[in-house]
Amino acid sequence: MSVELIVLVIVIVTALGFDFTNGFHDTANAMATSIATGALGPRTAVAMSGVLNLVGAFLSVQVAKTVSGGLLNINNVHHMALLQIVFAGLIGAIVWNLLTWLFGIPSSSTHALFGGLIGAAMAALGASGVIWTGNQSTGLINKIIVPALLSPFVAAIVAGLGTYVIYRLNRASDETKMRKAFRIGQIGSAALVSLAHGTNDAQKTMGVIFMALVAYGTYNNHDDIPLWVKLCCALAIALGTYLGGWRIIRTLGKGLVEIDAPQGFAAETSSAAIILTSAQFGLPLSTTHVATGSILGTGLGKPGGEVRWGVFGRMCTAWLITLPAAAIVGAICWGITDLAGGFPGVLIDLVILIALSSYIYLRSRKNTIDTSNVNEEWEDGLTPPSELDEKTSAAV
């Protein structure tokens, strides 16, 4: 087995690892409101979401094509160097996903991935390694930056108006019956978001793996994405979704807005419509931004609704630093591979990734959030696990 083939296998496995983290990191986007309102039990919710993410991954490939050929200038890059760029970028994305999951912050897996790839590409090739602007199907600004800025506001407006209309039309209805009816509606709308998430997010990993296969020489940019790539990506994101990102589910379901069933229905319906529409145009939107914007909008649209602006402010801070933070990690990882002379550097990066991932996982076990406490009353603030442990010890 050649060195290049070993690196290709490492890249594919790492990409599927990112896909897995994307699944449990973003489960909240589809299911947080349904779990918070009691429309679905926690385990039922994540199981349903996992299955629908699996199905959704096969509905379109437009986003995958954007990722594989519309963001990086890689036509004249040596295949081994490109594999190293992709690998370094994936490490940046995974590390950021795990860190934000640890602290229960719903940040964008999409922007973490692109940030990591951009940082590694710029470290390797300079600013020319990134397609900053282009036609309708290419360019960082057209495909990533503009949608990132607009999508939360659009989602908030749509969900806010929908929430206002729902409460306005049902102001004379029996509150208990209305809540029960919308809990049933939430099941359908949450299912649609899960389907949309699979359609949008699994494709990003498909695009990365396809980029690696093109770099290795197995395919060219005009080939169709092979079925085995679609299947592996679909299974990885579905498994991650099933495990449930309970820490982030808690933040979105209980921390941002005290959400009721009509609000949950409005938020999920708005999110699904926006994400599915964007996927058909090849726009790799952040489902986190869309879902968070929708939930925020329901808090604004409900008469007497309340938004915890402190929580939202911390989310926005994470959003702003996601892309540059992942880019820095990607650039550092590329630097390690370059200094170590290629393959040895890849192995060093792999060891670092495994060590960091293990540490973050063990750290999370000090303050476990799962089905037993995901719906407990919210205490304001995204408290780090260490502080929670200290408060618990002091109370005892």
Query: How many Cα atoms occupy the beta-carbon half-sphere of 337 within 13 Å?
Result: 28
Q: Which amino acid is at 60?
A: S
The answer to whether position 271 is within a domain reads yes
Of the pLDDT bands very low, low, confident and very high (cuts 50, 70, 90), residue 135 is low
Q: Let me know if residue 267 belongs to a domain.
A: yes
Where helices occur in 103-174 by DSSP H, the ranges are 109-125, 140, 146-169
Query: Is pLDDT at 30 greater than 90 in this prediction?
Result: no
Report which of 38, 370, 64, 44 is spatially closest to residue 198, judged by C-alpha positions.
64
Model confidence band, residue 295 (pLDDT cutoffs 50, 70, 90): very high
With respect to residue 231, please indicate whether it lies within any of the assigned structural domains. yes
* Percent of the chain at pLDDT exceeding 70: 90
Number of domains, the chain: 1
Tracing tokens 């489902």 back to the chain, one arrives at 287
- The reported pLDDT for the residue numbered 390 is 45
CA dist., res. 270 & res. 287, Å (int): 11
What pLDDT was estimated at residue 26?
A: 84
Q: Which domain holds residue 331?
A: 3-378
Residue 396 lies in a domain: no
- Supply the DSSP symbol for 378: P
**How high is the pLDDT of residue 130?**
82
- Mean pLDDT on 288-312: 90
Q: What integer is the mean pLDDT of 359-387?
A: 77
Q: What is the pLDDT of residue 198?
A: 84
Per the listing, tokens 């719906």 go with: 375
Residues 6+ apart with CB under 8 A from 187: 34, 39, 40
Question: Does the pLDDT value for residue 263 go beyond 50?
Answer: yes
Lowest mean pLDDT of 91-100, 205-214, 325-334, name the range: 205-214
Q: Record the pTM.
A: 0.87
Average pLDDT over residues 26-48: 89
Q: What is the pLDDT of residue 272?
A: 87
pLDDT tens figures, 37-46 = 889 999 999 9
Task: Assess whether pLDDT exceeds 80 at residue 18.
Answer: yes
Cα(385)–Cα(27) distance, rounded to whole angstroms? 21
To the nearest whole number, what is the mean pLDDT of the chain? 85
pLDDT at 258: 85
User: Does 389 map to a domain?
Assistant: no
Residue 388 binned pLDDT confidence (cut-offs 50, 70, 90): very low
Burial of 225-252, coded b for 16+ CB within 10 Å and e otherwise, reads: beeebbebbbbbbbbbbbebbbbbbbbb
Distance CA 81, CA 72 (A): 13
Q: Count other C-beta atoms under 10 Å from residue 222's C-beta.
A: 7
Q: Specify if 395 maps to a domain.
A: no
- Please provide the DSSP assignment of 202-243 as one string: HHHHHHHHHHHHHHHTS--TTSPPPHHHHHHHHHHHHHHHHH
In this structure, the chain runs to a length of 396
Each residue's pLDDT tens digit, 150-160: 889 999 999 99
Per-residue pLDDT band for 385 (boundaries 50, 70, 90) equals very low
Average pLDDT over residues 264-274: 91
Q: Mean pLDDT throughout 172-190?
A: 88
What whole-number distance in Å separates Cα of residue 190 and Cα of residue 268? 6
Whether residue 262 is contained in a domain is answered as yes
Tell me whether residue 45 is in a domain.
yes
**The pLDDT value given to residue 47:** 92
- For the stretch 96-108, pLDDT in tens is 999 999 998 888 8
